[in-house]
Every structure is written in structure tokens, then in C-alpha cells.
Amino acid sequence: MTQRDTAARSPQLPTGWRRLAARLPILLFRSGLGPLFGKRLLLLHHTGRVSGLDRMVVLEVVSYDPVGASWTVASGFGPQADWYRNLREQPKTLVQIGNRPYAVTAHFLTPGEGAEIMADYARRHPRTARRLCAFMGFPIDDETSYREAGRAIPLVRLDTAVGQRLP
């Protein structure tokens, strides 16, 4: 799949009330209610590549590795998502899980790595994986379809700094 094919499948960013609803979890994290999301969502702090201002976005954790001390997240809006582009410019940042912050470094996964992670995610969360893939415009028939989606959806592994304890 080419960059062009991936861009064609990138959904439109939400506007109006949908944007407000998408930003609500940020307010919940900032209000100290991050533990409500368990380990399924994280708050990513990132620095605007143009403005230099601190930005935040809540992302679903696609894969969590307590041994490797990392979380993997997907860019549902493709490689043009602001947070994704900002991490490309400045990969060292902070995430918040529950009410606990962690210093992390972003590592951008290859399509092959993404295929394996998406297939595993689909086994663990079949309905959510189906919705994500449908949202991105991918037809889902079987595990091979999830692997293909994983090759096209940009995935980022957020590795903690050495010595940090995970929850």
C-alpha cells in the first residue's frame, strides 16, 4: 500500500460537537479522573511543531508491554494527525496513565510490526478493532484484513525512560 492509498483512507478530523466529545477525556484526565480509563487510554503530551506550545490528546492503547515498559498507540487519522507529526519532530515527551506521568520516547513502527500488533489487537478487542478499521475505510473479513490494516495505520510505540516502574 502506498502513502497515497493511506492518505486516501484517512478520515476527516471531527468538527463541532464531535470535536468537543473527542476532547472531553482530556478534561477528565486533567481533573484527576484518569484512573476511570484504566490502562486502555493514555494522555499524550506533545509539543506543537510550529507553535512550540504544549498540546494534549487522549489515545487508545493498542498494545501494552509491562516487561518492555511501553505502550503502543495508533494514529486513527493517519500520518497527518497533529500529534503524530509533532512526535516525529520531537519524540521525547510525557504520557499519563491514570494519574501517573511517565517520560517516554516515541518509536515509529514499521508496517510489518504494525500488522502483527493489529492482528493481536483484533483477537483481544474484536469489536473495537472492527470499528477502527471501518472508520479508516478498511474492509474486514478475517485476520489477514487486520494485518493489512496494521500495515497501513501508523503505529507508535512509547517506551519509558530507563528505571521507571510501570503500573
* Domain coordinates in residue numbering, the chain: 3-110+155-160
Q: Among 121, 115, 107, 105, which Cα is nearest to 63's?
A: 121
Note the pTM of the prediction, 2 decimals.
0.83
How many other CB atoms sit within 10 Å of the CB of residue 131? Answer: 12
**Residue 141 pLDDT more than 50?**
yes
Q: Among 17, 18, 107, 25, which Cα is nearest to 58's?
A: 25
**CB burial of residue 88 (10 Å; 0-12, 13-18, 19+):** middle
Q: Which CATH number fits domain 3-110+155-160: 1.20.1090.10, 3.20.20.70, 3.30.750.24, 2.30.110.10?
A: 2.30.110.10
User: What integer is the mean pLDDT of 132-149?
Assistant: 82
Question: Where do the H-state alpha helices sit in the chain?
Answer: 3-9, 16-28, 82-89, 111-124, 126-136, 143-152
pLDDT tens across 62-79, in order? 999 988 889 999 998 889
pLDDT number for residue 133: 81
Q: Please tell me the distance from the alpha carbon of residue 66 to that of residue 75, in angstroms, as a whole number.
A: 22
Local confidence band at 8 (pLDDT 50, 70, 90 cut-offs) = very low
Amino acid occupying residue 76: G
pLDDT number for residue 10: 65
